[in-house]
Amino acid sequence: MATQIVILNEDFIKIDDSFHINWEEKGNAMPSIPNTIHCILWNNLPGPNEIQNRDAVNLDMIGNTPLTSSSDAVGDTTIDDLLTWAESRKSQIEQAQTDYDAAVTAGTDTAGQTWKDYDPNYS
């Protein structure tokens, strides 16, 4: 399971401070994140683990919610759920990249295809 996650809502997801997922690559099984959350920080870098909240109407920052345990709630999910999802999504992307590379090597890919075409979980 992943141990660290940073989510910049509707922008990107970073897993274990090394694996980057663009928002459009999050897949079709990511737990729902309310649009009132700007950012989720759960990592071992300097600074607090927290949810950075924003106003739903004008998206202005309205304060932070400290996170002290991986069982803490994030909307209707938890940090644990997000970490489990993150590890799964990372594996799915890596497998799709491997499958794409194999198709390129075998010459069975189609012009214009990318790893995303080999990912049934891509959204």
Over range 101-109, report the average pLDDT: 94
In which band, very low, low, confident or very high, does the pLDDT at 14 lie, cut at 50, 70 and 90? very high
3-state secondary structure of 53: strand
Q: In the predicted model, is pLDDT for residue 11 greater than 90?
A: yes
Q: What is the pTM of this model?
A: 0.93
* Structure-block tokens of residue 78: 């938890």
Q: Please give the backbone phi and psi of residue 7, each rounded to the nearest 5 degrees, phi first.
A: -120, 120
The CB-side HSE value for 33 (13 A sphere, CA atoms) comes to 24
* Structure-block tokens of residue 29: 């099984």
